Chain A
Amino acid sequence: MERYGIPLEGFLVISTAMFFIGIYGFLVRKNLITMLMSIELILNSVNINFVAFNSYLFPENMQGNFFALIVVAIAAAEASVAIALIINIYRRFSNIEVENIDEMKY
């Protein structure tokens, strides 16, 4: 079954690509803001999956779509907390390089 001339696999490929791009960014970039953006990518790749599976597999239901909306709302809240943290980290360390924040260990 196809919609808009695009097969389900197309959405999944995009979603998977976004997910791993997000993982890669999170592991490699040192800037906390960029890492936060990577997390957003991961979250939204999941959203794509939700919406795609919902409309392709269970078009009569709406749970997937609503779940995606909830994830968006949570992501917004999470972003605000994360940015507040980043601001505090900046005040303390005068930069937002993740490598400098390594005091919490053994």
Chain B
Amino acid sequence: MINFSYTIWILIIPIFMFLLLGLLGMKFKPIISGVLGTIGLGVVMLLSYYAAYQYFFQLPRIDDAYQQILAHNITWLNLSASLQIKMGVFIDPISVMMLVVVSTVSFMVHLYSIGYMKGEKGFQRFFAFLSLFTFSMLGLVVATNIFQMYIFWELVGVSSFLLIGFYYERPSAVAASKKAFIVTRFADLGFLVGILLLSYYTKSFDFLNITGPVGIEVTRNLTQTFLGMSVATWALLLIFMGGAGKSAMFPLHIWLPDAMEGPTPVSALIHAATMVVAGVYLVARLFPLYAFAAPDALTVIAYVGGFTSLFAAVIACTQFDIKRVLAFSTLSQIGYMMLALGVSGYGGEKGLGYMASMFHLFTHAMFKALLFLGAGSIIHAVHSNYMNEMGGLRKYLPITHLTFLIACLTIAGLFPLSGFWSKDEILVAAYEHNKLLFVVEYLVAGLTAFYMFRLYFRVFWNKEPHYHHKPHESPLVMTIPLMFLAVASIFTGFLPFSQMVTSDRLPFESETNLMIAIPSVAIGLVGIFIAFLLYKKDNVLVGKIVTGLGGIYTTIYNKFYIDEVYMFVTKKIIFNLISRPVAWFDRHVVDGFMNGIAGVTVLASRKIKGAQSGQLQHYAFFFVLGAIAFALIFIYLWQ
């Protein structure tokens, strides 16, 4: 029997590092705290790898299915006999896979940050927050029950807030961190209501129960409906709302582009590879419920994912801030994952979408972290986020250039890089289920190749602007993570995912469908070719296209004015029509009543304070009068 109890250290080490660096960080030299945090994460990474090795290769399977193991499950809050909240470590294929993803990317980002954040004020604080984030994310991943997941979900939100607002002296960073927190928190309201609904009917928080046969049976047979939808659909849609907030699905995506105000390693860790896929992970975690009890909710997820991926890819083609291009690309790729889940069925070959989604999550984490870290390296060299101020950087940044190129080719889905394999599976799953969504995703694949290579050619080729000082390659501590992730991006595609991570935990054979693989590579090449024509050198055609598109271009460039719509709804409608009257009522009626009482007291005391003259004999006189009055009253009553 293989024992997984050591996996608790995967959680203990990061939280210990957070406390150590958070409380005593200022006592250490910055470099020491950075190295400490990195070593801690390195240990966590090795433990995760070991756990994955044991789980996938050593643990015997039961009826060919991977086991679900509760490595730890302690009662954390014992509210009543029927309401207990537990905390623990849950081991199953997706949680093990996420452990590997989170710890790998987090370790790479820690290592990279030692170089990137060198000399920054608050270096220790940065590493403390990184550890806090890693702890929360790992806790979310291994949650044994939906309530534990919710708690860590919020912790992840808080650490994201702290890290986006890391440069708290910059007003834009503060605004972005608040925006991210408020938007995701708003979405989490739906999540909480969904949890309550679901656990009310299934009488349990534990994933083993609610996604097991009993939970599925209960949720399937719910007869209650509300506004024409069954309660199960409502609950799962509300839970998806929480996931959509974290994963920045349309229309809750507005926080992610602004979150790029945070330091670039943070963007790589939180806003590309780990936290933003939490929503995908959540849906995958509850997937049996979605598949059996609420297929309508799955359809919604598929369309939301498909729309977001198209929407974000279109915007990404027009942005100039390289981090924002990557942010929209992240949105688009997460849209892919959501869509794959949405078109998936349960079990065996039908669960292809599920497998593809998890596969894409895995490969995307690697190549998107690589892209962000590469962008960080570029920003480090040029001191600007804008691609107009870059160009011809391939001479100055050879390693960054090469790794960035690999990442771009990967995300464009070229054979045989990892992005090709996972994206291909998603396209196959979409093709089998919904032709419309397939066409959308097929287009998005082309757009992805186009905007990534627009970025690539614009930054590394094109005309060289006048640099204030010569850009130089980043130190080794930053390029090693780049190289590692580049290798991962190339080779993770060969992992036999359909043997390991599937909807029913039974392995199945998946094969590449040439009918889809060849056209998808072809459209990727077309996108690259167009980008090559337009951006390899300065091309007058670009300006002509922009002016030709006119209003359409401005609309896209301004992200379809979604932010403005939100501002209009919140500021003009909610503030003016609801908040202001309520504030008026509070200020004038509620406060007015209390102020009135206080005012009357003040007035009365002003009138009678003259009686307190300071003259001793006056007081004595009243005292005597009072005594006499009492005496008279008592004598009168005595009779």
Contact = CB atoms under 8 A, between A and B. Distances in A.
Nearest to A104: B614
Interface string B596-622: 000000000000010011111100110
Contact of B613 (A26, A27, A28, A105): A105
Interface string B612-639: 1111110011001000000000000000
Contact of B614 (A23, A27, A28, A105): A105
A26 B620 contact: yes
Nearest to A29: B617
B614 A103 contact: yes
Contacts of A106: 609, 612
Interface residues of B, number: 10
Interface string A1-43: 0000000000000000000000100111000000000000000
A105 B608 CA distance: 12
The 9 A-B residue pairs whose C-beta atoms are closest, nearest first, are A102-B614, A105-B614, A106-B609, A105-B612, A106-B612, A27-B621, A102-B615, A27-B617, A98-B616
Given A98-B617, A105-B614, A23 B609 contact: no
A51 B613 CA distance: 39
A27 B620 contact: yes
Contacts of A103: 614
Interface of A: 23, 26-28, 98-99, 101-106
24 contacts: A23-B624, A26-B617, A26-B620, A27-B617, A27-B620, A27-B621, A27-B624, A28-B617, A98-B615, A98-B616, A98-B617, A99-B615, A101-B614, A101-B616, A102-B613, A102-B614, A102-B615, A103-B614, A104-B614, A105-B612, A105-B613, A105-B614, A106-B609, A106-B612
Interface of B: 609, 612-617, 620-621, 624
Nearest to A103: B614
A40 B620 CA distance: 16
Contacts of B616: 98, 101
Contacts, number: 24
Contacts of B624: 23, 27
Nearest to A105: B614
**From B612, B616, B621, residue with most partner A Cβ within 10 Å:** B616
Contacts of A23: 624
A99 B624 CA distance: 19
Nearest to B609: A106
A31 B616 CA distance: 12
Nearest to B628: A23
Nearest to B616: A98
A103 B414 CA distance: 94
Contacts of A98: 615-617
B456 to A, nearest CB: 81
A71 to B, nearest CB: 18
A27 B609 CA distance: 21
A79 to B, nearest CB: 17
Contacts of B615: 98-99, 102
A26 B614 CA distance: 16
Nearest to B606: A106
A12 to B, nearest CB: 15
B295 to A, nearest CB: 78
Nearest to A99: B615
A101 to B, nearest CB: 7
A39 B363 CA distance: 99
A88 B624 CA distance: 27
B623 to A, nearest CB: 10
Nearest to A28: B617
A14 B444 CA distance: 115
A94 to B, nearest CB: 18
Contacts of B613: 102, 105
A100 B567 CA distance: 69
B629 to A, nearest CB: 14
A106 B610 CA distance: 8
Nearest to B624: A23
A104 B615 CA distance: 9
A98 B621 CA distance: 14
Given A26-B620, A102-B615, A105-B614, 4 more contacts: A23-B624, A28-B617, A98-B616, A101-B616
A104 B614 CA distance: 5
Contacts of A102: 613-615
